[in-house]
């Protein structure tokens, strides 16, 4: 569970501005940003289902009504959490001469932002076209694809596939178990690994052999890099096929 450091210094004004709470033991004034960051930290530790106005208010030591000075309701909070993830993305400098390889840097910064809060990837996905930072990301991807010969429909489909690939890589990383509270993840993973190891080796030799690899990621950089490579290989092959057909 998330541990909260709560300060009761001050008079405890009606808007709760004097209260503090933090998932990592550090104090921060209660504000819209503090509420959003705390919600993200809570989701990281106890899973997205743990996020609620009541829970966050309890961690800050205020009433739920005090949080409504900063977020109108849970839907607004969830949307703000998705925006916050996308707002951390620093788009790489343009390198048009690199062709489709320019997409690599774009996917890398997206995966990095999602990886910081792997349990909230769905929230970021929902906000890509709804917040400015997400729209800038999508615009850049579409520009790269259009500049490299893809049509409007293909560019839209391939940019969507880039987002879905990034989401899948982070949320589906072996061992992540983002929907499970942190203090239960080790037991859940051990159970999954034991179930694979215990399969009949004559019927499922490769599942038994790959039990560790399927339930743990011992090299995240290589894992994410391979996923991005696979996406780029597919897009590049499609571009080459279309060029060959046009000759």
CB-based contacts of 48-52 (< 8 A; 24+ apart in sequence) = 48/119, 48/120, 48/122, 48/123, 48/178, 48/179, 49/179, 50/2, 50/181, 51/77, 51/78, 51/81
**Which tens digit of pLDDT belongs to each residue from 214-233?**
999 999 999 999 999 999 99
What DSSP state is assigned to residue 91? P
**Which tens digit of pLDDT belongs to each residue from 61-89?**
999 999 999 999 999 999 999 999 999 99
Domains along the chain with CATH numbers: 1-71 (1.10.10.60), 91-173+217-246 (no CATH), 182-214 (no CATH)
Indicate the pLDDT class of residue 209, thresholds 50, 70 and 90. Answer: very high
Q: pLDDT value at position 49? A: 87
Cα distance between the two ends of the chain = 61
- Enumerate residues 6+ apart whose C-beta is below 8 A from 43: 50, 51, 81, 117, 119, 120
Q: Would you state the structure tokens that stand for residue 144, as one six-digit string?
A: 């790269």
């Amino acid at each position: 569970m998330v541990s909260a450091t709560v300060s009761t210094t001050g008079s405890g004004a009606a808007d709760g501005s004097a209260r503090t709470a933090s998932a990592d033991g550090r104090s921060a004034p209660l504000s819209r940003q503090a509420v959003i960051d705390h919600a993200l930290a809570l989701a990281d530790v106890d899973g997205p289902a743990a996020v609620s106005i009541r829970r966050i208010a309890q961690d800050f030591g205020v009433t739920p009504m005090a949080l409504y000075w900063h977020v109108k309701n849970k839907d607004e909070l969830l949307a703000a959490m998705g925006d916050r993830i996308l707002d951390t993305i620093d788009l790489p400098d343009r390198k048009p001469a690199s062709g489709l390889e320019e997409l690599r840097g774009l996917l890398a910064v997206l995966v990095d932002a999602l990886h910081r809060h792997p349990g909230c990837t769905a929230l970021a996905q929902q906000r890509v076209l709804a917040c400015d930072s997400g729209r800038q990301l999508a615009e850049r991807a579409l520009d790269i694809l259009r500049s490299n010969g893809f049509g409007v429909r293909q560019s839209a489909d391939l940019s969507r596939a880039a987002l879905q690939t990034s989401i899948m890589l982070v949320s589906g990383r072996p061992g992540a178990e983002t929907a499970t509270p942190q203090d239960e993840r080790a037991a859940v993973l051990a159970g999954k690994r034991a179930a694979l190891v215990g399969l009949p080796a004559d019927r499922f030799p490769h599942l038994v052999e790959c039990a560790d690899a399927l339930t743990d990621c011992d090299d995240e950089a290589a894992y994410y890099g391979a996923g991005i490579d696979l996406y780029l290989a597919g897009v590049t092959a499609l571009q080459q096929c279309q060029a060959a057909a046009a000759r």
